[in-house]
Structure 1
Amino acid sequence: MVTGELKNKIDSLWDIFASGGLVNPLDVIEQITYLMFIHDLDDTDNIRAKESAMLGIPHQSIFADAVTIGGRTVDGNQLKWSVFRDFPAGKMYSTIQEWVFPFIKNLHADKDSAYTKYMDDAIFKIPTPLVLDKVVTSLDGIYDMMKNTNGIDVRGDVYEYLLNKIASSGLNGQFRTPRHIIKMMVEILAPKPDDVICDPACGTSGFLVAAGEYLKENYKEEIFFNKEKKDHYMNSMFYGYDMDRTMFRIGAMNMMTHGIDSPFIEYRDSLSDQNADRDKYSLILANPPFKGSLDYDIVSADLLKMCKTKKTELLFLALFLRMLKIGGRCACIVPDGVLFGSSKAHKDIRKEIIENNRLEAVISMPSGVFKPYAGVSTAVLIFTKTGHGGTDTVWFYDMKADGFSLDDKRSPIAENDIPDIIERFHNLHKETDRERTEKSFFVPKQEIADNDYDLSINKYKKIEYVPVEYPPTSEILAEIKDLQAEIAKDLLELEGMLGE
């Protein structure tokens, strides 16, 4: 958690951008991301120089040579954050705009630098030298404070706090799945050190970051004291795709600030032929966008074979099945319509998951979970790709509370079903005797098949009706007469007062 003085410094950095006329939160985070990239490139280069000196091996700094851009040449050393931050505001502004940005883009050939990969189409939008000077000074203060803060992942927390400002601003909030829901889904799937994890609609990489944090907490020694597993964690465990260049860049930065050196975050339309991934991942965690209908001609043909539809929410389910390895598992958020939709495509994809794979759980969430941005009811589907069936019973859970009020304010409250959901999911053998009047229960596959593969919890939940005893009619009538007499008496008193 970011609190106290550090929180105030980040808020004041945000205010500097606002006073300079940059008010779109995505633009602000993107510009901060660029500057953090530039700062980190300098830091990384310095660390490698120290490591090389300790090991007695030569080190070639990326800033060592003269840099030529557009026919002009400058000493590469001047492009280091630690050098240009001391320039006068005007010189610093022209150095970053004319030299640093082009220099970093041209570093793309340097395969060792994940940072440069995401700067390919960066646009410098900070409006004036004065605003830049204030921003650089503010960021320096934030970095100094992060170094002196005793937190396991204070840098990641700072970036998470920045990302929260996308949501709290009320703009583009759809990019942010609530962190506690992400954490619940990760804890349900419980990633292992040899997993290969993907989010095909990654946005800010919230699911991938949470999976990384879970592994750090639960398998720290196994991962970080084993060279192969550490290399897998840093370079080949996490994959994310997004169609929005700003978001995939922010998502990549979010991963790197959480200590994952080279996440594979790419600009890609996951539903198109651009995405050839098949039988590749052991875990998929996702909250894909549900933006209505697509044209058939931009959707991958093999997805349409499985599910002939233009609806993105159904196509993504088909995509998850294609991308998973046999034995791979998925936890994804779907709008309620997926659970009970009556079209052929709706029924086909539900049947595919239930009959040809193994549907494990349907967790129905209350409609306020995504407020204030959307009031839509959603559910979490948990399934395993088997390719040959395996669904015997499906576990349903009716989540009523997630620890926050279900209005636009989303204030913290005591009621929270999430710990109960995680506990029960990992002990499903204890759930077999639960009644359908309770929050969670099993439903046999055949019953679901007989109901057109309907997965809405209300189809199977039983409501307990408690008989209410009313007093005899004569007593009710007597009470009404007494009330009428009281009203008549009060009216007489009122008339008397008006007459006076």
Structure 2
Amino acid sequence: MLTGEVRNKIDKIWSDLWAGGITNPITVIEQLTYLMFIRSLDEKDLETERFEAVSGETLPKIFPTDDAGQAMRWSKFKTKDARDIFAIVSDKVFPFIKTMNGENTSAFTRYMQDALFLIPTPQVLQKIITGLDELYEHDIHDLDMQGDLYEYMLGKLATAGQNGQFRTPKHIRDMMVRLLAPTPDDRICDPACGTAGFLVSSAEYIRDNYEPTMTAEQWDHFAGEMFTGFDMDRTMLRLSTMNLMLHSITHPHIDYVDSVSKQNSITAAYDLILANPPFTGTVDAESIHDNLKAVTDTKKTELLFVALFLRMLRKGGRCACIVPDGVLFGSTKAHKALRKELVENHQLQAVISMPSGVFKPYAGVSTAVLVFAKTGAGGTDKVWFYDMKADGFSLDDKRSPIEANDIPDLLARFHNLQGEADRQPTEQSFLVDKAAIEANGYDLSINRYKEVEYEKVVYDPPAVIMDRLDKQNLEIAAKMEELRGLIGE
């Protein structure tokens, strides 16, 4: 976790960029990302040089070994005069990283072709480089710290995109990852990856639970093929590849793809899908892949993406995805068709209703998490419903930490569903038979099945209440007389 001191240092760097005229949070993060990447390249060359000194081998380097190439390294230019730093970074280093595209480079470089260096003055650049170097030298000791730093910066993206996409809070992503419990052999995909938060949370879970026992083959899989993400925003792709790189995932499969369009024909490829797809967007009907329309004939992205997840999962693969509440009870033919597909043709395992403040300050939309497995042959017997009332943070725009938190209870109950068999619909979680869901037109809203217990209140007879009122009036009159006597004196 980042200390308050580290947060203050990041805020100072942010303020320097803001004062320099860069006020869009995404642009701020982009510019910082480029500088963090430039520094990481120098770190890799330093690591290679240390290995060469021990082994006596000569290994390939990232930066050219001539004087001009070496001058582009962070460790060489960071202490120079501000104007010299600005000239080196803007005229030499930035063009260099934009053209890096060899086989052994990061996926990050694939999305650098249209990147722009926007830091306005030598003084602002020098302040940022000094600030970042201070952070790395004194505060950031490992990959977890780098990841936390980046997560803190991404947390400043407090606006939703025009299609309704927004960053999923880390504790909600971590909860969804724990619901699916990925293993080192899984292939994991987020077809609407944004800043790759779900992939990063999956990577953290695997490292926390399997790191000591992972084989060389599993580590190779972890660094590359395990993680796939698609997005239609090249800025997000740059941020996501940087985010993954900071978590040891150097060659993820991150692509510019309109996931629900005809350009994406991926079928039965992934073991796990974790996603928070765009909610309010609609897409051109002509571009939607035909096999998605066969499941749910609509232009609504929130429905199309769930159909897409079913298609992209291999048989037996599982998904945890966030959907707006309307997906659960919408009355259109497309809504009903999608819910029927999940219940009848696959295994719908859980519907977790989340409080409406989870996505504040972006939006107050009510959402739920769907957990399902692709079977192609049914398998839904009972569906588990959970009414999450608190997630450990206040449900206002501030989202301050609080004690109330249902997530640990939720995870414990989900991973012990046999223990839920006797729970009643009046409780916070309960199981619902498939037959009941079918009888309710495949409505998946928790309020359709949850029962509220009303306590009977017994009131005194009217005559008793009237006597009580008379007594109180007499007491009031006596006090008033006493008060008048005091005033008269």
Look up the equivalent residue of 1:334 and give its one-letter code: V
Q: Residue in 2 aligned with 1:20?
A: 20
Of 285, 288, 295, the residue aligned with 1:299 is: 288
Q: Secondary structure at the match of 1:369?
A: coil
Distance 1:415 1:163, change over 3 A: same
The equivalent of 1:58 in structure 2 is 58
Q: How far off its partner does 1:61 sit? A: 2.4
2:311 corresponds to which residue?
322
CA distance in 1, matches of 2:474, 2:361: 49
Q: Residue 422 of structure 2 corresponds to which residue in structure 1?
A: 433
The one of 368, 371, 376 aligned to 1:379: 368
Q: Give the fraction of aligned pairs with identical amino acids, expressed as a percent.
A: 56
TM alignment of 1:213-292, pairs within 5 A: 213-223=204-214, 226-292=215-281
| Structure 1 residue 205 displacement after superposition | 1.2
1:383-421 deviation per Cα after TM superposition (whole angstroms, max 9, x unaligned): 000011111111111111111222222222222111111
Q: Distance in 1 between matches of 2:94 and 2:152?
A: 26
* Residues 1:53 and 1:112: Cα distance change in structure 2 (over 3 Å): farther
1:70 is matched with none
Cα shift at 1:293: 2.2
Corresponding residue SS for 1:198? strand
Report 1:182-221 matches (<5 A). 182-221=173-212
> 400-409 or 230-239, which moves further after superposition?
400-409
Query: CA separation in 1, counterparts of 2:138 and 2:352?
Result: 41
Rounded to whole Å, the distance in 1 between the matches of 2:291 and 2:54 is 54
Residue in 2 that maps onto 1:98: 91
Q: 1:217 to 1:345 in 2, by over 3 A?
A: same
The residue aligned with 1:45 is 45
Does structure 1 conserve the Cα–Cα contact (< 8 Å) formed by 2:107 and 2:254? Answer: no
> TM-score normalized by structure 1?
0.92
**Letter of the 1:383 counterpart:** F
Paired amino acid for 1:143: Y
The letter for the 2-side match of 1:268 is V
> How many pairs were matched up?
487
- Aligned equivalent of 2:383: 394
What is the CA-CA distance between 1:496 and the residue it aligns to?
A: 11
Deviations 1:89-128 (A, max 9, x none): 1222122212211111111234433342342221111011
1:478-497 aligned at under 5 Å gives the runs 478-482=467-471
Question: What SS does the aligned partner of 1:390 have?
Answer: coil
Classify 1:29/1:499 alpha carbon distance in 2 versus 1 (closer, same or farther; 3 Å).
Answer: farther
Shift of 1:477: 2.4
Listed as ranges, the gaps of 5+ residues in structure 1 are 67-73
The counterpart of 2:137, out of the listed 133, 139, 144, is: 144
The equivalent residue for 2:35 is 35
Q: Does 1:107 align with 2:100?
A: yes
Check if 1:116 corresponds to 2:109.
Answer: yes
Change (3 A) 1:114 1:46: farther
Aligned pair in 2 of structure 1 residues 304, 295: CA closer, same or farther (>3 Å)?
Answer: same
In the alignment, structure 2 segments of 5+ residues that lack a partner are none
1:49 Cα deviation from its structure 2 partner:
3.3
- The CA distance in 2 between the partners of 1:314 and 1:174, in whole Å, is 14
User: What's the counterpart of residue 3 of structure 1?
Assistant: 3
Could you report, residue by residue, the CA deviation over 1:21-56 in whole angstroms, capped at 9, with x for unpaired residues? 212111111100000111111111222233345344
Q: Which amino acid counterpart does residue 72 of structure 2 have in structure 1?
A: L
Give, in angstroms, the shift of residue 65 of structure 1: 5.5
Change (3 A) 1:365 1:182: same
Counterpart of 1:336 in structure 2 is 325
Name the TM-score, length of structure 2 as normaliser: 0.94
Counterpart for residue 144 of structure 2? 153
Q: Which is worse superposed, 467-476 or 368-377? A: 368-377
Shift in Å at residue 499 of structure 1? Answer: 12
